């Protein structure tokens, strides 16, 4: 299962919560990072959260900082995105990405994208 698979789509009201999951169990000897992206209709896909496996640090876009939390269960090869205090602006297709942007011997950059899961927040 090299290609990530997202789950947890749903429709919630403003202020509600939702948790997304991403499973990517395919083995690779090359290290990689796990990221969440989202894309609203008519807008470009944006990175909203990332776990950097090198040092365990995380990244959050300003638009979700303080409301979303990314976590990872290494044993299950699963990444989670806990979304709290959802807003209508959060309505988008959410995508999981498994990949690396850096090159090392025998390990070139790569990216595997999930199919996306829809999140709708009503006002």
The pLDDT tens digits for 82-109 are 999 999 999 999 999 999 888 999 999 9
Residue 83 near residue 20 (C-beta atoms within 8 A): yes
pLDDT for res 25: 77
Contacts of 24 (CB under 8 A, 6+ apart): 1, 2, 3, 4, 5, 34, 77, 79, 96, 98, 112, 114
Q: For position 108, what pLDDT does the model report? A: 92
Q: Say whether pLDDT at 2 is over 80.
A: no
With H, G, I as helix, E, B as strand and everything else as coil, classify residue 68.
strand
Q: Which residue from 28, 37, 44 is spatially nearest to 109, judged by alpha carbons?
A: 28
pLDDT of residue 1: 60
For 28-77, the pLDDT digits (tens) are 788 889 999 999 999 999 999 999 877 889 999 999 999 999 998 878 88
The pLDDT of residue 16: 97
66: left (phi over 0), alpha (psi -120 to 50) or beta: left
pLDDT for position 101: 87
Residue 86 pLDDT: 98
């Amino acid at each position: 299962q090299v290609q990530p698979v997202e789950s947890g789509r749903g429709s919630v009201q403003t202020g509600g919560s939702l948790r997304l999951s991403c499973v990517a169990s395919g083995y690779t000897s090359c290290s990689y990072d796990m990221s969440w992206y989202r894309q609203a209709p008519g807008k470009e896909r944006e990175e909203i959260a990332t776990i950097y496996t090198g040092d365990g640090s995380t990244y959050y876009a300003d638009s979700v900082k303080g409301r979303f939390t990314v976590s990872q269960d290494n044993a299950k090869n699963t990444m989670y995105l806990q979304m709290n205090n959802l807003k209508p602006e959060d309505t988008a297709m959410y995508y999981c990405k498994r990949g690396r942007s850096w090159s090392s011997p025998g390990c070139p950059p790569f990216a595997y994208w999930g199919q996306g899961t829809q999140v709708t927040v009503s006002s």
